[in-house]
Structure 1
Amino acid sequence: MTATLSNNVITAVEVTPHATDPTSLDYQERFADAVPAEVVGRPLDEVRVGRLAGSSGTPNGFNAAIQRIKEQSRR
């Protein structure tokens, strides 16, 4: 995942699916397509996604990545 920030607000986000299983890849691709509409324009501290585009597991990895970005942005 790549996120672009301006004044701690997400201005762009890109999620790259990595699954090899066709079903998992489908969920990850749908999540990647849907997540920008959910997070772009929102303050980093307010971003946390749940089930999105039918994907229930992918948000966990996304939220973990957002947490790492939050920690890095505070350094």
Structure 2
Amino acid sequence: MHRCRDLGRVASVRRWTKAAIDCYQRGCVCTNCYYSEFFNGSPQRCQMKATVLELVRVLGKPTSIEDKESVIQ
């Protein structure tokens, strides 16, 4: 299986979301993540790691934790 398929597909990204920032701060480790429980037992897989990697590639790293506050508003 190709590595890119392991990560999944990503639609175009425009901004950092709260969930993406949380995932980035965890180092894309799914332990204790809301989405890991959501996808547990499902044939579908979480695409957040692929999304975070694309966000870093396109927009760069989130500048600060304050980004989290601006996303919520």
* TM-score, scaled relative to structure 2: 0.33
Indicate the structure whose relative CO is greater, using CA pairs within 8 Å and at least 6 residues apart.
Answer: 2
Higher strand share: 1
